[in-house]
Amino acid sequence: MSAAATVLPSMDPAAAEELAREAAAWCALHGLVVGDRADPRSGTVPGVGLVHAPFSLLPAHLPEPIWRQACELAPIFNDLVDRVSLDGNFLQESLSKTKQVDDFTSRLLEIHRKMMEINKEENIRLGLFRSDYMLDSETSSLLQIELNTISASFPGLGCLVSELHRTLISQYGYLSSLEHKRVPENAASSQFAEALARAWAEFNVDSAVVMMIVQPEERNMYDQYWLTKHMQESYGVTTIRKTLSQVEAVGQVLPDGTLLVDGKKVAVVYYRAGYAPNDYPSEAEWRARLLIEQSSAVKCPSISYHLVGTKKIQQELAKPNVLERFVEDKEEIVKLRKCFAGLWSLDDEEIVKTAIEKPELFVLKPQREGGGNNIYGLELRETLIRLQKEGGDALAAYILMQRIFPKASPAYLVRGGICHEGLVISELGIYGAYLRNKDKVVINDQCGYLMRTKVSSSDEGGVAAGFAVLDSLYLTDK
């Protein structure tokens, strides 16, 4: 049974429509909402132009042993990110070719190099991560797609979908073949909020705030506001929201390293923007990123954590004998390697030749986050041929990855109040939180999950980018 095998009791279209209406009403009542793209103010003014987040009507099947495997990997990956982040030379060397051809990675590395030159230490290190997987139908193996170390989205809305599915299963008789307890509870938003609040407490300045870095237009702001709500209500921690350009305009770093924004001391900077080139439309945003990095505030993520999440580092870690540089426990190395898909750099001529001959077996990935960037099929072949002709370092901007083939199954998807049936595949994201103060590990936990489901004919998988819907899990025995 695949991660995409979706629970689908026999339901006629009329029953599905009725259930979708009830589910959409539940979304409105419980804050499972996003900004409506049709309303120009929906990305800037809270409470204006809301629609329910796109969702799957019923949860996706996942064998319980696979679920446990994914959860066990979270603290191992958390620790791995921290260890790799401390090896500045490894990050600089691994990305040295990429920076020649990718300006965005080059700018990040430049900030990182400046921090290395002044021997900047991050005593309090906070990571909120999400590791994404698919279950390969050929091998029944759980394979990692990527590890997100910056702006891991949907902890707020993802756990609401689990609650929605548990509620629907409990309340509707024609779903009586399902058990609501088989949908795992999902506390991602409260656990992320707890990690941010604990980092604030370690910083130990009562008057300080948590600053969330956001995009100027953010239709996914409610996902973020759930964390703000939990921090305020459970821990009394105040959050301010700023764009990078606003930080550049009103921020300053005092001689003792304190970051002041609008005259407020900032304890923790939590990035929900800054992961893509279009988040830096001018030099002002880059100046803000450098200013924050130079400060004593806790960064989530620091520049080094951010770089560990690049596709190139993922590919480097999959090389023989590289994990051993960072992980001592042999059992953990085996667990990590077991979930690694095939990953190659484009200086491997044999694999490039194979990918040109059989492009359907590969994905070509640039150093980008946020969905909508990967290259498949004939376009992959054409891109590889073009890159080979260009020669030089152009190939270094990409990595090749084994294409994973999850099993497609029928499901009902609801977007904009319209319910439609389609063949779908799903992607499992496992959240992790890691907090360290010098030698003391304060938090190293798995923190809930995100399930995203998309029509099987779509190659891309981002919900915010418009390709997928939010989903939850239904655990099966095998």
Local structure of residue 369 (DSSP, 8 states)? -
Active site residue 440: no
The answer to whether 147 touches 314, Cβ cutoff 8 Å, is yes
Active site residue 311: yes
Active site residue 130: yes
Longest CA pairwise span in the chain (Å): 67
Active site residue 369: yes
Local structure of residue 329 (DSSP, 8 states)? -
The answer to whether 189 touches 130, Cβ cutoff 8 Å, is no
Q: State residue 272 phi and psi, 5-degree precision.
A: -115, 15
148, 186, 190, 456: the catalytic one is 148
Local structure of residue 386 (DSSP, 8 states)? H
Active site residue 148: yes
Instruction: Find tokens 């001391």 and name the residue.
Output: 265
Tell me the three state secondary structure of residue 258: coil
Cα atoms found within 13 Å of the Cα of residue 267, Cβ hemisphere only = 19
Active site residue 365: yes
The answer to whether 355 touches 399, Cβ cutoff 8 Å, is no
312, 381, 452, 454: the catalytic one is 452
Identify which of 319, 361, 322, 309 has the alpha carbon closest to the alpha carbon of residue 344. 319
130, 198, 436, 454: the catalytic one is 130
Residue 242 Ramachandran class (φ > 0 left, ψ -120 to 50 alpha, else beta):
beta
| Residue burial 212-224, b: 16+ Cβ < 10 Å; e: rest | bbbbeebbbbbbb
The answer to whether 303 touches 113, Cβ cutoff 8 Å, is no
The answer to whether 83 touches 326, Cβ cutoff 8 Å, is yes
Identify which of 185, 149, 106 has the alpha carbon closest to the alpha carbon of residue 432. 149
Tell me the three state secondary structure of residue 383: helix
User: How distant is the alpha carbon of residue 410 from its chain centre?
Assistant: 26
2, 42, 153, 162: the catalytic one is 153
49, 94, 120, 146: the catalytic one is 146
User: How distant is the alpha carbon of residue 364 from its chain centre?
Assistant: 19
d(CA 188, CA 161): 12
Tokens of 229: 């709500």
d(CA 335, CA 127): 21
Active site residue 72: no
For 46, 216, 361, 413, the CA distances from 42, given in Å and listed in that order, are 7, 12, 40, 23
202, 332, 369, 427: the catalytic one is 369
365, 403, 407, 454: the catalytic one is 365
Tokens of 336: 């990590």
d(CA 278, CA 290): 17
Identify which of 275, 196, 272 has the alpha carbon closest to the alpha carbon of residue 230. 196
Active site residue 452: yes
370, 377, 422, 462: the catalytic one is 370
- The catalytic site residues sit at 130, 146, 148, 153, 311, 365, 369-370, 452
